[in-house]
Amino acid sequence: MYTIALMLHVLGATVWTGGHLVLSFCILPVALRERSPTYIRNFEQRFEKIGIPALVIQIGTGLYMAFQLQPDISQWFGFDNLVSQTLTLKLSFLAATALLAVDARLRIIPNLTERNLTSLAWHVIPVTVISVLFVLVGVSFRTGGFA
Ligand code: HEM
């Protein structure tokens, strides 16, 4: 069961992190250069159909694996050992992603124009950087940490 969760977790990561890298490096630069939000809107409308389920899978499989690795939730927070270090970082990344995504979804995307495109960029870029950090921290767990 753990192996299945890990496989789903890696697949979900390819969608979430891969999708945000495409958005940041292939879509956002053109939208900013041409001051046209249409590129972003077209991408978002299509990506979210697979992006949101992928994020749900990441959270579900991530929490499942966390419970298998450390059933005592009070031990999930802190940097005493590799498991709590990994989970503290992952849950912090998740909180930051949720804050940025909800703000973009509720405040910026409904009124997206060429005027607030830069403000959206200041949400897309950090979410992309965090999505890569999710992968680095996840893989570093399997390889024994950054030390
Ligand atoms: C979009 C969000 C996420 C992405 C892109 C992501 C990505 C990854 C990747 C690529 C790995 C390495 C898998 C491997 O070594 O084969 C990993 C491992 C892991 N992730 Fe995530 N992750 C995300 C969210 C989460 C969340 C929310 C949690 C838990 C609260 C979590 C918990 C874990 C754990 C415990 C491992 C280690 C599994 C193991 O090697 O046994 N992840 N993650």
Q: Report d(CA 114, CA 108) in Å as an integer.
A: 11
Check if 8 has its Cβ closer than 6 Å to any atom of ligand 1: no
Residue 131 alpha carbon, nearest atom of ligand 1? 5
* CA 1 / ligand 1 centre spacing (Å): 15
Q: Report d(CA 15, CA 88) in Å as an integer.
A: 23
pLDDT of 54 above 90: yes
Model pTM greater than 0.75?
Answer: yes
Check if 89 has its Cβ closer than 6 Å to any atom of ligand 1: no
Check if 76 has its Cβ closer than 6 Å to any atom of ligand 1: no
Give the closest residue (by CA) to ligand 1 atom 15.
Answer: 139
Residue 142 alpha carbon, nearest atom of ligand 1? 40
Break the chain into its structural domains and give their ranges: 2-143
CA 87 to chain centre: 15
pLDDT, residue 71, reads 95
Give the closest residue (by CA) to ligand 1 atom 14.
Answer: 139
pLDDT, residue 147, reads 57
